[in-house]
Amino acid sequence: MNRALFIVDVQNDFTEGGALGVVGGDAVAAGITRFLNDHAPEYALIIASRDWHDAEGDNGGHFATGEPDFVETWPVHCVAGSPGAEYDPGLETSAVTHHVKKGQGVPAYSLFEGVTDDGARVATLLDDHGITHVDVTGIATDYCVRASALDAIGHGRAVTILTELVAGVAPETSEAALAELAHAGAELKENR
């Protein structure tokens, strides 16, 4: 098997009711769980990421000290160890082979910027397992899904965005992100 699945930031703070909740977040969590029930054995790696920000400080300017601009500065979210940083309860994670934490004290959007608890980097995991293709799911289409998919392309992988298993902050920016990803070479597909 030369295929990996990315599950990007399906966390309480990014689903309905969270600090930065997106519409459709809970449905994405449940959809990924159903998808894993049917397809997990098809993947050599299943990598799930979480924002995991420091409780102290502004995390390199990521947390707004005043009014957030929702582009580079954000309200406090996904603080390490908080309920908001945990996976959405609709996401069943037993099939996940690697859990990645990102944004520990610094701004981070791409899953490639994170590390596993034992310090492994995603690019190394992909190389070590001979991964040539990555399917991408998660939240938010227009931010961390976009950044993670672009990095996967940049690392020489074929990328498919499973469009029924992503949710974005806003329709316009999500559509723009998907168009950008398609232009960069990603395949947009409703499901596998």
- Tell me, yes or no, if 189 is annotated catalytic: no
Band (pLDDT 50/70/90 cuts) for residue 71 is confident
Q: What is the DSSP letter of 52?
A: -
Q: Which of 9, 26, 135, 142 is catalytic?
A: 9
Kindly compute the dihedral angle of the four CA atoms of residues 12, 14, 15, 19, in this order, to the nearest 10 degrees.
80
Predicted confidence (pLDDT) per residue in 124-159, tens digit = 999 999 999 999 999 999 999 999 999 999 999 999
Unique residue bearing structure tokens 């029924």: 164
- Tell me, yes or no, if 78 is annotated catalytic: no
- Tell me, yes or no, if 9 is annotated catalytic: yes
Band (pLDDT 50/70/90 cuts) for residue 192 is low
3-state secondary structure of 17: coil
Predicted confidence (pLDDT) per residue in 174-183, tens digit = 999 999 999 9
Q: What is the DSSP letter of 84?
A: G
Q: Which of 51, 78, 144, 151 is catalytic?
A: 144
Dist CA 33 CA 54 (whole Å): 28
Q: Is the pLDDT at 191 greater than 80, yes or no?
A: no
- pTM reported for the whole predicted model: 0.96
Predicted confidence (pLDDT) per residue in 15-24, tens digit = 999 999 999 9
Could you name the CATH architecture of 3-134+148-166+184-189?
A: 3-Layer(aba) Sandwich (3.40)
Dist CA 173 CA 39 (whole Å): 29
Q: Which of 13, 102, 135, 151 is catalytic?
A: 102
Strand arrangement, sheet containing 187-189: 98-102, 45-51, 3-8, 133-139, 158-167, 187-189
Predicted confidence (pLDDT) per residue in 43-64, tens digit = 999 999 999 999 999 999 999 9
